[in-house]
């Protein structure tokens, strides 16, 4: 299905608008050479230093394409860090591009941005927060996320990072020829840069928090279960993503590699090496069009709902084994490293907004409905429930019926919300809950905190007016409040209560970065209870009411974790399930063919 490809491509509003304040310039020295950044006023009484487009690796071009990241070499002249660099090669959505100060894309994109406030002295020893953006491993850029607000609020240093995306970041032949995971190697190299250079900005390399949203959270969660990363960071924040999600790891990398090779005119090649040698020399301007064609072909796979064609892979090198399976060995080095870190993890209240924005409209013709009015039960019965039953439960009709009974409704507005609940459960909420359960289990080292973000955005993230039946907070909403509310406030009037909520939210995040506990440091109005499997405590974050809660989504979690496995144990199969998926595959094939004619 098209879902894994499109679901993270939603625009995240103008998180990075052009600076309106007067700009001064500041030069400092680092072990790699001198940098000139910019100094701006933030609010009425704060000063922010921004050092942009700092190279942390050699450009991954030529012989370095499809290779592990190579550290940048020292430079002799003063590097200009006053403007953003290009995004990594991708197709930037128009709704995003209009808000980028640098609209270019390039293979030469491995830069990071540093935001800090107050004193730039190397002796300040500030905690560091390193952010990895989302975008489905296909799109996204560091320049969207202005770390100034977090830096000022918690007296921390914020680092935002570009990493290779799409084919250039995650192409894999499934063997040692092209292992993949180049985007993850970029992230690791950026963290090594922090270790070696952040002290020049007043940062403490021994107090580093990595955080990310969506695909960025998938990345962060994977980095947090690789023991070789010990010492690069001490704390982790997962925002709408965990490695146990079906979208975090590509289990069939060679399928996409073959499709990409074919679309690249690299055909009839008998070995992975021949394929690799051919695609490695594709001109940069052909990569994205060819990638898009290959992605469309990947949609024909019956299990495409549960696999991302371009994502991290189990390569036997960086990711040595399936982390979900490895987590069953609770005495492993992987679990020891994971539990040594402090963890904060959560989701927004309506992760299924991705369906409403991108998938429901695509299905309107086949299922005869208008998204603005609601969604018919036939969409649940004929596609979502059946696909889940086939791909995860071996075509069991009793599983299909149980899902329909649990998430079905004759009211089309309620049905629209319930399918979004189902989608959110399977791909976001259950993985997140499993992560905090695993982390907190018999853990004497790291703290565990869980949250639900329930505050709706002032304007829709997708750029489309929400239907009247929509409820809750959209996927990516938390980013608006963490990174972009001041700039949004220049466009529309944000209530003072919302601005107060933003400060409280940032205080939780930066307290955690500073102390491993969102309650320690600057004052918070509501104490955030620590999570464990007995109390299952979490905090609900909304401007109207920040509140302590327990047992997140208890009834739905029970259905997926206890009731459905019991039902599935009866093992009743249904050929109608396979027939439904076959019909859907034919529909997708017709759609793909129609698109390819226009490419």
Q: Nearest Cα to 325, choosing from 230, 251, 427, 403?
A: 251
Distance CA 296, CA 279 (A): 18
- Cα angle 182, 86, 42 (rounded to 5 degrees) comes to 110
Q: Cα–Cα–Cα angle for 370, 373, 374, nearest 5°?
A: 85
Angstrom CA distances, 446 to 191, 242, 431, 549, stand at 20, 17, 19, 21
Would you say how long the chain is, in residues? 599
Q: Catalytic amino acids? A: 214, 351, 475
Measuring CA to CA, how many Å separate 20 from each of 16, 38, 42, 152, 153? Answer: 12, 13, 11, 18, 20
How does DSSP classify residue 425?
I
- Give the DSSP H/E element, type plus range, for residue 130: strand 126-132
CA-based R_g, the chain, Å: 23
DSSP string, 230-288: BTTBSEEEEES--TTSTTTS-S-HHHHHHHHHHHTT--S--SHHHHHHHHTT--HHHHH
Q: How far apart are CA 216 and CA 57, in angstroms?
A: 19
Whole-angstrom distance, CA of residue 79 vs CA of residue 197: 15
Nearest to 128 by CA among 224, 55, 201: 201
CA 209 to CA 513: how far, in whole Å? 6
By 3-state DSSP, what share of the chain in percent is helix, strand and coil, each rounded to 5? 40, 15, 40
Three-state secondary structure of 464-524: CCCCCCCCCCECCHHHHHHHHHHHHCCCCCCCHHHHHHHHHHHHHHHHHHHHCCCCCCCCC
Instruction: Specify the DSSP element, H or E, that contains 590.
Output: helix 575-596
The single residue listed with the structure tokens 């440091």 is 521
Nearest of 462, 491, 490, 464 to residue 477 by alpha carbon: 462
The tokens describing 3, both together, are 């879902």
């Amino acid at each position: 299905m098209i879902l894994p490809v499109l679901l993270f491509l939603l625009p995240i509003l103008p998180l990075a608008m052009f600076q309106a304040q007067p700009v001064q310039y500041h030069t400092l020295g680092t072990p790699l050479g001198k940098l000139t950044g910019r100094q701006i006023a933030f609010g009425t009484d704060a000063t922010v230093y921004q050092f942009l487009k700092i190279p942390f690796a050699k450009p991954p071009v030529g012989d370095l394409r499809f290779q592990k990241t190579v550290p940048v070499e020292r430079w002799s002249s003063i590097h200009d860090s006053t403007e953003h660099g290009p995004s990594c090669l991708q197709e930037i959505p128009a709704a995003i591009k209009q808000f980028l100060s640098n609209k270019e894309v390039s293979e030469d994109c491995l830069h990071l941005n540093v935001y800090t406030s107050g004193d730039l002295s190397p002796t300040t020893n500030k905690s560091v927060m390193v952010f990895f953006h989302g975008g489905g491993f296909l799109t996204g850029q560091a320049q969207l996320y202005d770390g100034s607000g977090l830096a000022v609020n918690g007296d921390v240093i914020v680092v935002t990072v570009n990493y290779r995306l799409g084919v250039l970041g995650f192409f894999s032949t499934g063997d040692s020829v092209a292992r993949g995971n180049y985007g993850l190697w970029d992230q690791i190299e950026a963290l090594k840069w922090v270790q070696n250079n952040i002290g020049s900005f007043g940062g403490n390399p021994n107090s580093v928090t990595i955080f990310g949203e969506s695909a960025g959270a998938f990345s962060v969660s994977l980095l947090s279960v690789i023991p070789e990363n010990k010492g690069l960071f001490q704390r982790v924040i997962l925002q709408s993503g965990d490695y146990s999600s079906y979208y975090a790891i590509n289990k069939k990398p060679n399928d996409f590699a073959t499709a990409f090779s074919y679309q690249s005119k690299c055909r009839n090649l008998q070995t992975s090496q021949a394929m690799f040698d051919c695609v490695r020399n594709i001109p940069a301007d052909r990569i994205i069009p060819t990638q898009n064609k290959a992605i469309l072909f990947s949609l024909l796979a019956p299990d495409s709902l549960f696999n991302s064609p371009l994502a991290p892979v189990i390569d036997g090198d960086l990711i040595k084994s399936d982390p979900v399976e490895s987590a069953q060995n609770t005495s492993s080095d992987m679990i020891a490293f994971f539990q040594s870190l402090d963890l904060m993890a959560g989701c927004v209240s309506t992760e299924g907004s991705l369906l409403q924005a991108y998938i429901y409209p695509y299905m309107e013709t086949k299922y005869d409905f208008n998204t603005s009015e609601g969604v018919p039960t036939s969409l649940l019965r004929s596609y979502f429930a059946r696909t889940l039953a086939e791909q995860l439960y071996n075509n069991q009709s009793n599983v299909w019926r149980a899902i329909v009974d649990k998430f079905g409704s004759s009211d089309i507005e309620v049905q629209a919300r319930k399918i979004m609940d189902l989608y959110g459960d399977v791909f976001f909420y259950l993985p997140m809950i499993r992560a905090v359960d695993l982390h907190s289990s018999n853990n004497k080292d790291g703290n565990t905190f869980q949250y639900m973000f329930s505050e709706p955005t002032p304007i829709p993230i997708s750029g489309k007016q929400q239907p009247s039946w929509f409820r809750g907070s959209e996927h990516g909403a938390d980013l608006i409040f963490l990174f972009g509310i001041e700039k949004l406030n220049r466009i529309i009037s944000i209530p003072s209560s919302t601005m107060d909520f933003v400060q409280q939210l940032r205080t939780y995040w930066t307290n955690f970065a500073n102390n491993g506990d969102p309650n320690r440091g600057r004052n918070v109005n509501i104490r955030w209870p620590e999570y464990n499997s007995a109390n299952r405590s979490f905090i609900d974050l909304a401007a109207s009411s920040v509140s302590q809660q327990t047992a997140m989504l208890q009834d739905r979690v029970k259905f997926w974790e206890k009731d459905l496995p019991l039902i599935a144990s009866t093992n009743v199969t249904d050929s109608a399930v396979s027939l439904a998926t076959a019909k859907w595959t034919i529909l997708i094939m017709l759609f793909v063919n129609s698109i390819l004619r226009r490419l």
